[in-house]
């Protein structure tokens, strides 16, 4: 059974088998209680994630959770909330789950799934808040960005009224583009924004992500921050 799972694992990620696989891909099998890589299982959980967490606590979403420093701390601070994290890279998923386990947090699930596909596996009003930290700005190809007008159409479905979107980025243009985009949307409102999070009133409660640490230490870059409310 174990062997079959390992032999068939590639089918979830590739069209044809490869000669060698990333060693972290196989490690996905070691954490069935925390990592879900099977799209069918994710889609079956649509509107039923509370059953997966075995409670009725709010469910929040992080898109592009990286190596998990942010969610490790957020989930530890908020044990009365559940978190679904989307990440594509095998190594980052494994590093994240190890951090969560070390903290003995049971309120996090990692899904290997693209943020663009949320409507397939999240139901109406299923999500309370969304965190997107340092998403790829796609400088040469901005239409590939995760945060664009069509993303808000998905949020119209999955995000509860009163739910918030929290965004952080080193990329000044992405920050300004989002501020402009939200101005055009009548059901979303920017409730707070700053181009310099680390010199703002939020600096003491802010949880630094891996990329944030990097931009601060290596490049001494200002960090942009936006909080958006879904008003109706």
Ligand X SMILES: C[S@@+](CC[C@H](N)C(=O)[O-])C[C@H]1O[C@@H](n2cnc3c(N)ncnc32)[C@H](O)[C@@H]1O
Active-site amino acid positions? 136
Among 45, 82, 133, 194, binds ligand X (CB under 6 A): 133
Among 8, 44, 136, 172, binds ligand X (CB under 6 A): 136
Min. distance of Cβ 174 from ligand X in angstroms? 11
Among 34, 37, 59, 64, binds ligand X (CB under 6 A): 64
Mark the segment that binds ligand X (CB under 6 A) among 27-35, 46-54, 175-183, 204-212.
204-212
Among 45, 96, 194, 209, binds ligand X (CB under 6 A): 209
Whole-number Å distance between alpha carbons of 184 and 202: 26
Mark the segment that binds ligand X (CB under 6 A) among 8-16, 19-27, 80-88, 175-183.
80-88
Answer yes or no whether residue 210 interacts with ligand X by CB under 6 A: yes
Whole-number Å distance between alpha carbons of 166 and 158: 15
Residues recorded for the chain:
232
Burial of 153 (0-12, 13-18, 19+ CB in 10 A): exposed
Q: Which 8-state DSSP code applies to residue 195?
A: S
Q: x/- binding map, residues 87-106, to ligand X, per CB under 6 A?
A: xxx--x--------------
Answer yes or no whether residue 169 interacts with ligand X by CB under 6 A: no
R_g over Cα of the chain: 18
Mark the segment that binds ligand X (CB under 6 A) among 9-17, 81-89, 102-110, 219-227.
81-89
Answer yes or no whether residue 171 interacts with ligand X by CB under 6 A: no
Whole-number Å distance between alpha carbons of 132 and 142: 16
Alpha helices (H) along 65-137: 69-77, 90-102, 118-121
Whole-number Å distance between alpha carbons of 184 and 188: 9
Among 59, 63, 94, 165, binds ligand X (CB under 6 A): 63
- Helix, strand, coil share (%) of the chain residues, nearest 5: 40, 20, 35
Can you read off the two tokens belonging to residue 181?
């985009």
Whole-number Å distance between alpha carbons of 145 and 136: 7
Answer yes or no whether residue 107 interacts with ligand X by CB under 6 A: no
By beta-carbon proximity to ligand X, the closer residue of 202 and 231 is 202
Min. distance of Cβ 136 from ligand X in angstroms? 6
Binding interface with ligand X (CB under 6 A): 63-66, 86-89, 92, 114-116, 133-136, 146, 209-212
């Amino acid at each position: 059974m174990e062997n079959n799972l390992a032999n068939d694992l590639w089918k979830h990620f590739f069209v044809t088998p490869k000669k060698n696989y990333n060693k972290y891909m196989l490690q996905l099998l070691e954490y069935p209680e925390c990592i879900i890589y099977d799209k069918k299982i994710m889609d079956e959980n649509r509107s039923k994630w509370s059953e997966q967490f075995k409670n009725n606590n709010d469910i929040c979403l992080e898109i592009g959770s990286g190596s998990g420093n942010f969610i490790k701390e957020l989930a530890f601070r908020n044990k009365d909330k559940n978190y679904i994290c989307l990440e594509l890279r095998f190594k980052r998923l494994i590093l994240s789950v190890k951090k969560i386990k070390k903290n003995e947090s049971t309120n996090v699930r990692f899904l290997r799934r693209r943020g663009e596909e949320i409507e397939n596996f999240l139901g109406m009003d299923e999500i309370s808040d969304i965190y997107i930290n340092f998403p790829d700005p796609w400088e040469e190809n901005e239409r590939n960005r995760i945060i664009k007008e069509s993303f808000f159409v998905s949020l119209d479905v999955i995000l509860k009224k009163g739910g918030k979107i929290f965004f952080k980025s080193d990329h000044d243009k992405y920050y300004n583009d989002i501020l402009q985009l939200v101005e055009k949307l009548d059901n979303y409102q920017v409730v707070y924004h700053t181009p310099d999070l680390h010199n703002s009133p939020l600096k003491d409660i802010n949880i630094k992500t891996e990329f944030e640490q990097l931009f601060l230490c290596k490049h001494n870059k200002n960090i942009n921050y936006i909080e958006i409310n879904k008003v109706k």
